Amino acid sequence: MRQKRVDILYFGRVNAKTGVSTVLKSFVKGTAYLQNNNILLKIFDLDGEYLDSQKGNNNEIGFQPSFKSNLKRIAKKNFFISWFLVYRLYWFNAKKSLKFYLKKNRSADVMFFHDFFSCYLYLKLNLKIKQKKY
């Protein structure tokens, strides 16, 4: 029986101290079980391919926590700061992780996206590629 390829695209860091990262690490701990059931799991995060490298740091990209929390407080009253935060914390990271994933030129049987932003960008790009082929 052929092994199923399952890819998870996460726009954060698996080594971060968040709930999502904890769940993803539990998948990593269960890779032996998955492999016994013909499932090859790969997790792609901001640091690259998590299962291969097992590296990364616990810092979010770009801002110190106190500075970021101050920006979030200001953003509630300022549209441009809000827009900047959404772009920098979500779209930028989604683009970065998706770019790394696409460089790998993988074809997965099942893909999981942690967030709307990565999923949207992936589907948008695939639609453009399909339109060029026809």
b/e for 103-112, b at 16 or more Cβ within 10 A? eeeeebeebb
Q: Work out how many domains the chain is built from and give that number.
A: 1
Q: What average pLDDT does range 96-116 have in this prediction? A: 88
Residue of 51 and 116 predicted with greater confidence: 116
What percentage of the chain carries pLDDT values higher than 90? 15
> Domain containing 86: what range?
4-133
Instruction: Give pLDDT, residue 27.
Output: 87
Helix%, strand%, coil% for the chain, nearest 5: 55, 15, 30
pLDDT at 17 exceeding the cut of 70: yes
Structure confidence by residue, pLDDT tens digits, 48-83 = 877 544 444 444 444 455 776 777 778 888 888 888
- Nearest to 40, CA basis, from 108, 89, 103: 108
> Residue 110 in contact with residue 8, Cβ under 8 Å?
no
**pLDDT reported for residue 59:** 40
